[in-house]
């Protein structure tokens, strides 16, 4: 694509059409001569621009020759799908805020929604050019391996004739043509579908627009070139090329492929329809989302300014929202290319299988082992199987009286749901909160909720105004005779005596979803404990949820939205006091995102007091570390590697007063104040040391980690001279294999 950045620079500003003076874009740097009364924004980064930096780190993995070729294809596809969702959700949200009568500035860098949108579109134009270059490089490398995506320019006459015959026979009868005119209004374009657009002319008329959908369940995306094994053509490119066969009475003056991205940021609670039950309402919300306004238009060929202006007018877009792309608009076909190359293992990461946890004896039931000691599973290095086995045991256990669980995202063929269904069919009381507002998983969760209800489970769908994002499971057993602590261990005796017997609580609290597929792809932690106090507090959380409420106070658990953010701030305050009184202080945090300004302000205060703060933040990060006198005691890294870093760890203090948690919550306002989240303290000394070791290893990663610099950019680490290379994810994989092998040897 010729000089995309110059092309973008030549377009009118998105806001100048209205004759509005454009406010200066705040990039987080305090301006010279800026009023002292204005908030000092030098320590902050804008959320949306920070997310784009994260996605750029994903693109770096597609560029990196340290990764095998097919894994680079995977990262490129992830980059694109990430960007699609970003436009649907975040740019969609900015669009909605621009419609308000008075635009408020966001609370970190003082940017309005208009300024953020302008900055985002400018940044994405630059990233698109970089993505196109990566795509070209990777396609050349794939072609060298025997799989090639062809263009018509590379075909000879016989091959083009062959494809023309195929088009006329197999594709053209399935096409639906739409010519925009007085009797045919501009058609509705589906979100992320690819269309061929042609500018038609006759002797009488010029500049008519014709549109043909290229997405069809019957038409394969990859069309094989029979005369060249391993060579393919994209269906949309074939349709675009043979448009003259469709519009025989017209002259085609311009043509292009195009795709729109629609706003998907719809507030299910705000538009609640009381005439529908909540599940039917959410099904209606999903339908409405498909019809929301466009926020981006992508085109593959250059169209005239007049046609672009007309398209923008029809779609309600500004020209700055139009993006030219040389790479295909949907890169999902790359997964098919990967499948074609499976016989070449050197093009992929070495195969890894989640290992058996050394904490679990696999030839024995899990529940008695949990009564002996806490168990922590680390995905994807260790298998989710012990947790699934425990659920299945609970479904059959005559002593289990109830299972309570929160479900946010589930696998397509969920073994978790199968276990809950079996429990209900065995007359256990099964109470399940299925969060129907899990974005883009609503339809899946609606179907699972129906199946659970049909099996006899008690199902609710979340709370008004709050998403339930916690990963919480509580199994309650009633045992007639208590086992002595000597016989079963201290925690085996953790139940309350009642008139009907003794109750045992098995509580599982995790950082990630109950999803067997993502447990092989995301790094997550899962604690299973028989601790009585934790079990009782988990029971209180469920009791509140099923009353449509949230808990106000917990002694052990941190539970958003009412007792997590405040407790985190209290623990940071404690570290500040300790440091100011001359004692050792420390804060260590591993999260996916940091946007909560109250927590950020407190972290800056901790840094100014001299508290050492280590943070591992995969994605969005709204603080700048390393600024002299402000954040120079804060050290931030981001790890982007083979697995998606998803676990959350909080560490406050040192020595005997140290508090250590795993959590489902990031330090984002949506998590701390607008969701139900649970963080659980780790009390077992063995597990505490294990978490410490994990945290230390990640901080030392010098292959997949990037250090944040004071200007907010990230610099990829590399091993120094004489320094051993350390990839934290590979290290944890090797340790899991070694521990599993040792456990097998020891029987």
As annotated, the active-site residues are 469
477: closest CA among 465, 488, 486, 463?
488
Going across the sheet that includes 178-179, the strands are 178-179, 206-213, 194-201, 251-262, 294-299, 322-324
Contact yes or no for 679/557 (Cβ under 8 A):
yes
Contact yes or no for 608/614 (Cβ under 8 A):
no
Half-sphere exposure at residue 682, Cβ-oriented, CA atoms within 13 angstroms: 25
Nearest 10 degrees: CA dihedral of 443, 447, 449, 452?
-160
Alpha-carbon distance of 437 to 460, in angstroms, equals 12
Alpha-carbon distance of 214 to 80, in angstroms, equals 19
**Which helix (DSSP H) or strand (DSSP E) does residue 88 occupy?**
none
**What one-character DSSP code corresponds to residue 274?**
T
Q: Of how many residues is the chain composed?
A: 747
Cis peptide leading into residue 380 (ω within 30°): yes
Nearest 10 degrees: CA dihedral of 390, 392, 396, 398?
20
Contact yes or no for 87/744 (Cβ under 8 A):
no
End-to-end CA distance of the chain: 61
How many of the other CB atoms lie within 10 Å of CB of 496? Answer: 12
Helix, strand, or coil (residue 515): coil
- DSSP lists the bridge partners of residue 148 as 231
**What one-character DSSP code corresponds to residue 686?**
H
85: closest CA among 410, 439, 344, 421?
439
Q: Look up tokens 């995790």; give the residue.
A: 510
Looking only at the bridges linking them, the beta strands covering 458-460 and 429-434 are parallel
Q: What is the DSSP string of 159-220?
A: HHHHHHHHIIIIIGGG---EE-SSSSPPPP--TT-EEEEEEEE-SS-EEEEEEEE---SSS-
Half-sphere exposure at residue 18, Cβ-oriented, CA atoms within 13 angstroms: 7
Q: Based on the number of CB atoms within 10 Å of its own CB, is 123 exposed (0-12), middle (13-18) or buried (19 or more)?
A: middle
The beta strands (E) that lie in 674-713 are given as: 675-681, 705-708
How many of the other CB atoms lie within 10 Å of CB of 222? Answer: 15
Alpha-carbon distance of 19 to 312, in angstroms, equals 18
111: closest CA among 227, 22, 5?
22
Alpha-carbon distance of 102 to 104, in angstroms, equals 6
Contact yes or no for 158/227 (Cβ under 8 A):
yes
Contact yes or no for 118/16 (Cβ under 8 A):
no
How many of the other CB atoms lie within 10 Å of CB of 91? Answer: 25
Alpha-carbon distance of 450 to 455, in angstroms, equals 9
Contact yes or no for 671/469 (Cβ under 8 A):
yes
Longest Cα pair distance anywhere in the chain, in angstroms?
97
Structure tokens at 373: 């000691």
Q: Based on the number of CB atoms within 10 Å of its own CB, is 302 exposed (0-12), middle (13-18) or buried (19 or more)?
A: middle
Alpha-carbon distance of 577 to 250, in angstroms, equals 78
Alpha-carbon distance of 241 to 236, in angstroms, equals 9
């Amino acid at each position: 694509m010729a000089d995309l950045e110059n092309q973008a620079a030549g377009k009118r500003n998105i806001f100048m059409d209205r004759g509005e003076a454009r406010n200066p874009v705040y990039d987080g740097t305090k301006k010279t001569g800026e009023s002292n009364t204005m908030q000092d924004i030098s320590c902050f980064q804008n959320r949306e621009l920070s997310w784009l930096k994260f996605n750029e780190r994903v693109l770096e993995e597609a560029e990196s020759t340290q990764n095998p070729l097919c894994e680079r294809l995977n990262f490129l596809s992830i980059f694109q799908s990430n960007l699609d969702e970003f436009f649907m959700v975040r740019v969609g949200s900015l669009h909605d805020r621009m419609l308000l009568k008075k635009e408020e500035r966001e609370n970190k860098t003082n940017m309005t929604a208009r300024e953020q949108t302008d900055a985002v579109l400018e940044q994405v134009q630059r990233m698109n050019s970089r993505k196109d270059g990566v795509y070209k490089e990777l396609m050349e490398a794939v072609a060298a391996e025997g799989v090639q995506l062809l263009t018509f320019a590379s075909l000879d006459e016989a091959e083009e004739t062959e494809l023309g015959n195929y088009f006329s026979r197999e594709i053209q009868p399935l096409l639906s043509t739409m010519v925009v005119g007085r009797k045919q209004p501009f058609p509705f374009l589906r979100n992320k579908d690819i269309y061929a657009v042609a500018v038609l002319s006759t002797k009488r008329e010029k500049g008519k627009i014709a549109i043909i959908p290229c997405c069809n369940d019957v038409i394969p995306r990859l069309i094989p070139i029979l005369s060249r094994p391993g060579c393919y053509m994209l269906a949309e490119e074939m349709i675009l090329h043979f448009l003259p066969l469709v519009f025989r009475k017209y002259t085609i003056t311009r043509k292009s492929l195009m795709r729109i991205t629609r706003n998907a940021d719809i507030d299910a609670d705000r538009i609640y329809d009381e005439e529908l039950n909540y599940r039917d309402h959410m099904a209606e919300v999903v339908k409405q989302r498909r019809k929301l306004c466009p926020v981006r238009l992508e085109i593959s060929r250059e169209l005239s300014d007049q046609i672009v202006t007309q398209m923008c007018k029809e779609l309600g877009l500004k020209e700055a929202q139009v993006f030219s792309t040389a790479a295909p608009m949907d890169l999902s076909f790359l997964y098919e290319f990967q499948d074609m190359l499976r016989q070449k293992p050197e093009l992929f990461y070495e195969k890894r299988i989640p290992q058996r946890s050394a904490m679990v004896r696999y030839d024995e039931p899990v529940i008695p082992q949990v009564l002996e000691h806490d168990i922590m599973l680390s995905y994807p290095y260790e298998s989710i199987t012990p947790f699934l086995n425990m659920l299945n045991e609970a479904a059959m256990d005559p002593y289990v009286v109830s299972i309570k669980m929160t479900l946010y995202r589930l696998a397509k063929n969920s073994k978790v749901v199968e276990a809950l269904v079996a429990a209900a069919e065995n007359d256990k009381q099964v109470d399940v909160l299925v969060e129907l507002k899990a974005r883009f998983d609503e339809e899946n969760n609606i179907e699972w909720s129906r199946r659970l209800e049909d099996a006899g489970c008690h199902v609710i769908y979340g709370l008004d105004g709050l998403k339930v994002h916690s990963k919480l499971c509580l199994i309650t057993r009633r045992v007639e005779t208590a086992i002595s602590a000597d016989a079963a261990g201290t925690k085996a005796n953790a139940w309350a005596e009642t008139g009907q017997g003794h109750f045992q609580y098995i509580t599982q609290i995790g950082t990630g979803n109950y999803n067997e597929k993502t447990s092989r792809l995301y790094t997550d932690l899962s604690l299973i404990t028989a601790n009585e106090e934790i079990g009782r507090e988990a029971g209180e959380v469920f009791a509140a949820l099923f009353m449509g409420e949230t808990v106000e106070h917990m002694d052990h658990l941190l539970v958003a939205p009412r007792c997590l953010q405040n407790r985190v701030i209290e623990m940071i305050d404690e570290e500040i006091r300790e440091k100011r009184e001359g004692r050792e202080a420390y804060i260590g945090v591993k999260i996916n995102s940091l946007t909560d300004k109250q927590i950020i302000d407190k972290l800056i205060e901790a840094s100014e007091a001299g508290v050492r703060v280590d943070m591992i933040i995969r994605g969005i990060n709204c603080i700048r570390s390393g600024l002299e006198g402000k954040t120079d005691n804060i050290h931030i890294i981001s790890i982007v590697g083979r697995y998606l870093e998803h676990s959350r760890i909080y560490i406050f203090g040192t020595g005997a007063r140290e508090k250590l948690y795993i959590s489902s919550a990031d330090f984002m306002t949506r998590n701390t104040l607008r969701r139900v989240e649970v963080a659980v303290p780790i009390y077992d000394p063995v597990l505490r040391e294990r978490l410490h070791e994990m945290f230390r290893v990640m901080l030392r990663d010098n292959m997949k980690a990037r250090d944040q610099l004071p200007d907010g950019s990230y610099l990829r680490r590399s091993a120094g001279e004489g320094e051993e290379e350390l990839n934290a994810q590979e290290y944890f994989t090797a340790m899991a294999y070694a521990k599993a092998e040792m456990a097998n040897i020891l029987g």
